[in-house]
Structure 1
Amino acid sequence: MVMWVFGYGSLIWKAGFNYDDRLVGFINGYRRVFYQGSTDHRGTSEYPGRTVTLEPAEGEVCWGVAYKISGKEDEQTALTYLEVREKQYDKKAYVDFYTEPKASTPAVSGVMVYIASSDKKLNRNYLGPASDEEIAKQIVRAQGPSGPNRDYLFQLEKALLQIGCEDRHVMDLAKEVRRIISESEL
């Protein structure tokens, strides 16, 4: 039995579980957005941080990494770990994963991905869309058990650039956060 998991946020740079293979690629029909509140890792209940989730978006692609996990023991360990780590994400989807932009056939089908839905009844931490400035201000202020929210954003930006992805939403937010930080230091 083999399980594949798609990472589009912190899983890109920090898997936290054993895996047999790591592929760089993308999924179709989604875009990465900083719409999920984090009260357990990058913020608190009082000052939620913002982390990424996926939003359905026709014609868009979301780059990230897919991890191959084989063996019943490694699979169970990874699932147990992910269920705790991703507990604020209320949905799992199984998607096709591509490694080549022009490919018509996926490299791997049935890749599991965690998604934080916009349904406030199921996902009480969903923050939703806001201006880049508003999101950036929240990111600058928030800090949780896993560290400052800005570190999450900057690590995501770096990890995406390392895999050859220039995600406009992430890069614009990182630029805005740096602007706010530099202005506060004046």
Structure 2
Amino acid sequence: MAIEAKGSSGQEEGEEEFWLFGYGSLIWKPPPHFDHRGTPSSPGRVVTLIPSDYHATLSDPHPPTSDKVWGVAYRILPSRVSEVKTYLDIREINGYTIHYADFHPAADNASTIKTLVYIGTPDNQQFTGPQELDELAEHIYRSEGPSGLNRDYLWGLEESLKGLGEGSEDEHVSDLSERVRRIARREEEKGTAQEEEHEEVGHPFRKVSSIDEVEEMEKGV
């Protein structure tokens, strides 16, 4: 699908519209939007595209089952190109390279679109790579930053992928989402159990009305 990006800056001389391929949070949050789901000391996890030949060197618990990547195509109008490119340079240029790829709309008989896409580079300091799935789920569940909870990012991505077209669900994202949901249920049950235990113990002290009564209580201790 395609929507028009919104902004306020003017068009530079000779600048033409272009199409941007959006994946990850860009599926449901069009640019300009800066996404951070963790902190510098405890970074969250977000999805990124990397070259297939580099991915082949990694040990991935969820190897890809298709060479397709689902996302959305955003039509950037000429009057907004300068603003959006500036935003994307700030957001993506550190550890990413610019490429152009064919976008095939899910709608029947729709024409292929040439889109700009950002591909991650192996030397990106923020690139984590594959991780043991239960450890990754625990990390996502506990990470939070200025943009919100890391788990909300994951669940938002899962839900958005479902609505893109037939076969658009991602096995890795769905599996990881369910693992995080199990952690959420575990923590919720743990919290409920602790509350019930506190209520059962009660308070061991009672109110006293005089100094003499306090002394009598101390003698009995």
Conservation of the 8 A alpha-carbon contact between 1:96 and 1:106:
no
Aligned residues: 158
User: Are the counterparts in 2 of residues 118 and 128 from structure 1 also a CA contact under 8 Å?
Assistant: no
Post-superposition offset of 1:88: 4.6
CA gap 1:163/1:102 in 2 versus in 1, 3 angstroms: closer
The structural deviation recorded for 1:116 is: 2.2
| Corresponding position of 1:64 | 71
Tell me the residue number matched to 2:26: 11
Pairing 1:49–2:39 present? no
Is it true that 1:107 corresponds to 2:112 in the alignment? Answer: yes
Identity of aligned residues (%): 45
TM-score using structure 1 length: 0.76
Unaligned runs of 5+ in 2: 1-15, 54-65, 190-221
Check conservation: 2:51, 2:120, Cα contact below 8 A: no
Partner residue in 2 for 1:33: none
Match in the other structure for 1:181:
184
Conserved in 2, the CA contact under 8 Å of 1:132 and 1:172? no
Deviations 1:146-185 (A, max 9, x none): 1111111111111111213211111111001001111112
Matches within 5 A, 1:16-165: 16-17=31-32, 41-57=36-52, 60-71=67-78, 73-100=79-106, 107-109=112-114, 111-119=115-123, 123-164=124-165, 165=168
Q: Deviations 1:27-47 (Å, cap 9, x if unpaired)? A: xxxxxxxxxxxxx71111111
Ranges of 4+ aligned residues in structure 1 off by more than 6 Å = none
| CA radius of gyration, larger in | 2
SS of the residue corresponding to residue 47 of structure 1 reads: coil
Gaps of 5+ in 1: 18-39
CA distance in 2, matches of 1:97, 1:106: 9
2:68 and 2:75 map into 1 onto residues whose CA distance is 21
Q: Distance in 1 between matches of 2:80 and 2:178?
A: 38
Q: Which residue type is aligned with residue 112 of structure 2?
A: A
Tell me, yes or no, if the aligned pair for 1:42 and 1:148 is still in contact at 8 Å: yes
Quick one: which of 168, 171, 174 aligns to 2:174? 171
Letter in 2 for 1:163: L
CA distance in 1, matches of 2:94, 2:47: 11
Q: CA RMSD in A?
A: 2.3
User: Partners of 1:101 and 1:117 in 2: how far apart?
Assistant: 32
Contact 1:47/1:141, CA 8 A, preserved across alignment: no
Measured in 2, the distance between the counterparts of 1:93 and 1:159 equals: 24
Q: Which has the higher strand share?
A: 1
Distance 1:77 1:174, change over 3 A: same
2:49 partner amino acid:
L
Are the structure 2 counterparts of residues 174 and 162 from structure 1 closer, same or farther at C-alpha, using a change threshold of 3 Å?
Answer: same
2:98–2:116 Cα contact (<8 Å) kept? yes
| TM-score normalised by L of structure 2 | 0.65
